[in-house]
Structure 1
Amino acid sequence: MRLLLVEDTVELANWLQKALTQKGFAVDWVADGVAADHVLQSENYALVVLDVSLPRLDGLAVLARLRKRGQRVPVLLLTAHSALEQRVQGLNAGADDYLTKPFELDELEARLRALLRRSQGQAAQTQMIGQLERDSEGYFLLNHKPLLLTPREASVLSTLMQRPGRPVSRQHLYEQTFTLADEASPESIELYVHRVRKKLAGSDVAIVTLRGLGYSLECQPCA
């Protein structure tokens, strides 16, 4: 899943970007509110992690502009203050959750995955397509055995699994898999689609190419 991290503390941002990437997220990072507001107008994200105290434009102002544009992307606020008033202010401004610094990475990941499930209308349960299973934490099983995927392969499969049997464009897969800092073209997504296809080989689930439309995850014998 593609995530925007808005954090002005460089050390914390670098750590979070690396850690969340290892957890399977494609993470873009910006360090101030104006940059965040700009990128949110042109890019699509599954989640936003937004620090409240930012230079140039604070996090609550970024959030207010985001919601005023009608964008419903889930937002988790990071705050250095535990005061109830600030937390309530953030939630009233349209935040979906908040986390007070310092925090544990496991808690951040759990909250982000909960926001994803909520935004996708999913309960905390597994999703299955034929022999392919994705649990509530985002891990894949194929025929009841762990399916070993790189973070980008997992992003491709997760994105396709959100719309089983329906076309997903190459551009959308690219946007959900690569970050703005990646030196890759949309054509690069074909390599990861090919790799995931090979790992699904021999099962009843396959990635089908739809000429001019993109790709579709389909269960071959299923009705």
Structure 2
Amino acid sequence: MNSIHAVKAPLRVLMLEDDELLRDRVLVPQLQRFGFDITAVGSAAELDRYTQAHWPDILILDVGLPDADGFELTCKLRAQMSDVGIVMLTGRNTTADRVRGLSEGADAYLTKPVDTDLLAATLYSVARRLRASQAQTQRHWRLDADDWCLLSPSGGMVALTKTEGRLLSKLLEKPNQAVSRDELIKALTANVYDFDPHRLDSLIHRLRKKAQRVLGVPLPLTAVHGEGYVFLLI
């Protein structure tokens, strides 16, 4: 029996590893047994497409990639995703490589072959550090773990309906970026053709009024003409 237990909400792990055999036959199934919600890609281009819509809790990155240098990619990702954990997993095991990986922004540097227990323990350790840091410094709008409450930067709380939670979850997947009306409607219903588009505007209007009433501050949810809506966290 594994000695590491999964937390209530599975950690979302995105793995970038171009060795298909190692990735799909060894690492992915073994990490799934530890309770991780894991997605695996084989190139930097695939990773870029995935992270346009979804941010994981932790990234696992190789150094030797078919279309990117892992060290440079780590530096770039750290600048883009300050709150995402990065674990480098590579065959390069010199002290200079370790120092460079950690200096470029990795939270941990492991070498292949890696014991799966050690990898899992490292992922949980990184997640604990990140969550502790976020709890101390978090000063932005966010949803609770179950999307039932919206939390304000000052610590206020607004209870949400299921529909409101779905709407805000979609908007907060891409903060500070316009989310199209079509994307938002798809998040609200499976029957998009039967959905009255005016319901979206009414829902957002009610949500703004609720936040203002409960918290006494405006909700930073803004319409973008011709595109959709954006939730501003800056």
With normalisation by structure 1, the TM-score equals 0.56
Report the counterpart of residue 41 of structure 2 in structure 1: 30
Structure 1 CA distance for aligned equivalents of residues 33 and 145 of structure 2: 17
Distance 1:73 1:105 in 2: 21
Which of 13, 16, 21 does residue 11 from structure 1 map onto?
21
Question: Secondary structure at the residue paired with 2:132?
Answer: coil
Distance 1:53 1:100 in 2: 12
Residue in 1 that maps onto 2:102: 91
**1:65 and 1:102 mapped to 2: Cα distance?**
26
Residue deviations 1:88-140 (CA, integer Å, cap 9, x gap): 00111000001110011000000000011000008xxxxxxxxxxxxxxxxxx
Larger Rg: 2
- Asked whether 1:62 is paired with 2:73, we answer yes
Match of 1:112 among 115, 123, 131: 123
Read off the aligned partner of 1:110 and give its amino acid letter. A
Consecutive aligned runs of 4 or more in structure 1 exceeding 3 Å deviation = 158-161, 163-173
Aligned-partner Cα distance in 2 for 1:114–1:39? 24
Q: Note if 1:78 corresponds to 2:93.
A: no
1:37: Cα distance to partner?
A: 2.9
Any residues of structure 2 matched to 1:1-223 within 5 Å, and which? 1-14=11-24, 15-121=26-132, 159-160=145-146, 169-170=165-166, 172=169
State the Cα deviation string for residues 53-103 of structure 1 (Å, max 9, x = none): 111112222212212335331100011021000010011100000111001
Q: Which runs of 5 or more residues in structure 2 are unaligned?
A: 1-10, 134-143, 152-156, 174-185, 189-206, 208-234
User: Please, which runs of 5 or more residues in structure 1 have no aligned partner?
Assistant: 123-157, 177-184, 188-211, 213-223
Task: State the SS of the aligned residue for 1:42.
Answer: coil
**Partner Cα distance (1:34, 1:10) in 2:** 16
**DSSP 3-state at the match of 1:94:** coil
Give me the identity figure in percent. Answer: 30
Distance in 1 (CA, whole Å) between partners of 2:57 and 2:128 is 11
TM-score scaled by length of structure 2 = 0.53
Contact 1:82 1:100 (8 Å CA) reproduced: yes
Q: CA RMSD in A?
A: 3.3
CA deviations on 1:164-197 (whole Å, 9 max, x unpaired) are: 9966834759x99xxxxxxxx968xxxxxxxxxx
Amino acid at match of 2:119: L
User: What is the CA-CA distance between 1:52 and the residue it aligns to?
Assistant: 1.0
Go from structure 1 to structure 2 and tell me whether the alpha carbon gap of 1:170 and 1:2 turns closer, same or farther (over 3 Å shift).
Answer: farther
- In structure 2, relative to structure 1, the CA distance for the partners of 1:39 and 1:47 (3 Å cut) is same
Deviation for aligned residue 1:9? 0.5
Shifted more, 163-172 versus 72-81: the winner is 163-172
The 2-side partners of 1:91 and 1:44 are apart by 21
Q: State the secondary structure of the residue aligned to 2:72.
A: helix
Number of positions where the alignment pairs a residue of Structure 1 with one of Structure 2 = 146
